Each structure stands twice: as structure tokens, then as C-alpha cells.
């Protein structure tokens, strides 16, 4: 009976580990944008380019993840290009309303692009656990 129990645990263990690698491999690069633009159409849009540093620091003994830019202002119809450089910590960059998501590895510049096709205020943030709650977010303002 013990031998069957041990074999069952081993099988379950390998199924869990296999599932982890399968699902994590599929999510590594949901990258840059689902509403990406064909290269030949880029000249039709005014380009607004921004650079953001993503980092973590300790302030008064507390973990504090941050973006260096807390506000981005563009016009509706602009092609928004954001260059993100993570200098410390594990971070990503996300804007829900524009289907923008990218992992941002340390010391690698990542570029996300999207068309600002709707006016309003939208939050960009790091979706790592607790980072947004601890202040790693900013405001994207798109004017008509």
C-alpha cells in the first residue's frame, strides 16, 4: 500500500511541475501590445516618446517599488512609445485599456507602443504582487 501511495505522489508532483512550466512558458512574453501597428502605417501617427525607469528602493525601512515618471500626457491619435528600463527589482508594465503588457527584465530596455485611440485617464502600473498598492503606478492622460 505504501508503494502505491508513493507512486501516486510522484505522479502528482510531476503533473504539477509540468503544468507550471507549460503555463509559465506561455505567459513569459505576452509582450508589448495586442493592438500593435504595422510598420508601414507608423508615419500616419504623431509619435510621442517617453522613457521610464522602473526600480525598487527601501525608504524608511519599507519596500518601495516605483516608476520614475508618474504622469504621461498625449493627444488622442498619437502613437505612444514608452521605453522602460528596470534598474533594480522584478517588474513589468501594464495598461489594461490598451492591452499593453510586457515583462521588464533588469538592465534591458523594453519598448511598448500603442495608438492612443480613446480619450480619458488610464493607469499604467506594475502587476507584480503588491507593487501597484505600494505606489508603482502612473497616470496616462489622453486629451481629445
CATH number, domain of 134, equals 2.60.40.420
The verdict on 45 and 25 lying in the same domain is no
Residue 19 confidence (pLDDT): 52
Find the domain containing 20 and state its range. Answer: 1-29
- Do 18 and 48 reside in the same domain of the chain? no
Q: What is the pLDDT of residue 46?
A: 83
Q: Note whether residue 34 is domain-resident.
A: no
d(C-alpha 100, C-alpha 78), whole Å: 15
pLDDT number for residue 35: 42
pLDDT on residue 42: 60
End-to-end CA distance of the chain: give it in Å, rounded: 71
CA distance 91 to 66: 10
Residue 66 and residue 97 in one domain: yes
Give 10-residue mean pLDDT values along the chain (144 residues).
Answer: 62 52 41 46 80 93 94 97 96 97 97 96 97 97 97
Q: Which of 132, 99, 124, 111 is nearest to 42 (CA)?
A: 111
Which residue is associated with the grid cell 493592438? 35
DSSP conformational letter for 78: P
Question: 44 and 25 in one domain?
Answer: no
Give the pLDDT score at 59. Answer: 86
Which of 119, 117, 125, 122 has the alpha carbon at shortest distance from 140? 122
Contact between 50 and 82 (Cβ < 8 Å): yes
**Calpha distance 53→79 (Å, rounded):** 20
97 CB burial (10 A radius; 0-12, 13-18, 19+): middle
Give the helix/strand (H/E) hosting 9. helix 2-27
**Cell reading at 6:** 508513493
Question: What per-residue confidence (pLDDT) applies to 40?
Answer: 47
Q: Which of 89, 106, 87, 109 is nearest to 32 (CA)?
A: 109
Amino acid at each position: 500500500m505504501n508503494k502505491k501511495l508513493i507512486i501516486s505522489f510522484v505522479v502528482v508532483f510531476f503533473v504539477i511541475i509540468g503544468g507550471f512550466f507549460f503555463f509559465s512558458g506561455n505567459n513569459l512574453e505576452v509582450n508589448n501590445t495586442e493592438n500593435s501597428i504595422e510598420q508601414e502605417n507608423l508615419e500616419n501617427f504623431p509619435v510621442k516618446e517617453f522613457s521610464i525607469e522602473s526600480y525598487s528602493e527601501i525608504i524608511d525601512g519599507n519596500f518601495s517599488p516605483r516608476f520614475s515618471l508618474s504622469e504621461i500626457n498625449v493627444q488622442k491619435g498619437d502613437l505612444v512609445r514608452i521605453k522602460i528600463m528596470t534598474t533594480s527589482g522584478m517588474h513589468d508594465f501594464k495598461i489594461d485599456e490598451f492591452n499593453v503588457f510586457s515583462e521588464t527584465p533588469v538592465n534591458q530596455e523594453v519598448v511598448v507602443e500603442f495608438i492612443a485611440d480613446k480619450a480619458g485617464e488610464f493607469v499604467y502600473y506594475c502587476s507584480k504582487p503588491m507593487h501597484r498598492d505600494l505606489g508603482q503606478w502612473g497616470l496616462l492622460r489622453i486629451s481629445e
